Copies of this chain bind each other. A is one copy, B any other.
Amino acid sequence: MKLLDGGRAPNPRRVRIFMAEKGIEIPLEQVDITKAEHKTEEFTALNPVQRIPVLILDDGTAIGEVSAICRYFEETRPEPPLLGVDALDKATVDMWNSRLQMHLLIPVAQVFRHAHPAMAEMEKPQIAEWSEANRPRVMEALRWLNDRLSKSAFVAGDRFSIADITAMVAIDFLKPARLAVPEDHTALLAWYDKVRARPSYKA
């Protein structure tokens, strides 16, 4: 088994943190997207949507998409559970993780990709107005995330889960997007200090 990985990009990092929380160690193989290594014929045969990360099983089966890779790990290495433990908990974890992906991580990515000069080659066309349109969406998401964390130890409840991983990676992605958590979002900032202290944060 090995992971086709991609350094600092948010999606590979989500999987690496998930693996670190479960104590899963497998070889990481770097795919350099700045050299368009994810657009080669060989890579496209593994993943038609040309995205990293991709998990390669021992028989050569390729699994793409963060949620699918994490699902595979959760099923084959259940402890500690990161996708919830019963019907309601699993649904709650999925709800917060989906919300954070759709309404925080993706909007932050849009702000970044459609405005940052370093993305001019990767994101064509870059549309400055679309970057701008996503800024208020990010700030709105930070508001409800702060509200949630003022009532809950972790994003999806009392236990660290994949929703915290998506949230921490999204928060780290604010900086290259030239955004920041407002100082009065004290619950969010306290949670961030807490999750950043976990060993998995460095993954």
- A19-27, A59-67, A194-202: which lies at the B interface? A59-67
Grouping DSSP codes into helix (H, G, I), strand (E, B) and loop, the A interface class, with mixed when no group exceeds half, is helix
Q: How many Å lie between the Cα of A147 and that of B88 in the bound state?
A: 37
Binary interface profile of A, 128-145, with partner B (CB < 8 Å = 1, else 0)?
011001000000010010
- In the complex, the answer to whether A98 meets B147 with C-beta atoms within 8 Å is no
The answer to the question of A91 belonging to the interface, with a C-beta cut-off of 8 Å to chain B, is: yes
Q: Which of B57, B76, B98, B129 contacts A68 (CB 8 A)?
A: B98
Q: Which of B66, B68, B133 contacts A125 (CB 8 A)?
A: B133
- In the complex, the answer to whether B91 meets A72 with C-beta atoms within 8 Å is yes
Q: What bracket does the count of chain A residues touching chain B fall in?
A: 35 or more
Q: How many Å lie between the Cα of A131 and that of B70 in the bound state?
A: 32
Q: How many Å lie between the Cα of A76 and that of B66 in the bound state?
A: 25
Binary interface profile of A, 45-72, with partner B (CB < 8 Å = 1, else 0)?
0001100000001000101111111011
The answer to the question of A92 belonging to the interface, with a C-beta cut-off of 8 Å to chain B, is: yes
In the bound complex, residues from chain B placing their C-beta under 8 Å from that of A57 are 88
Q: Which of B69, B87, B144 contacts A91 (CB 8 A)?
A: B69
5 smallest beta-carbon distances between A and B, as pairs = A75-B87, A68-B95, A48-B144, A72-B91, A68-B94
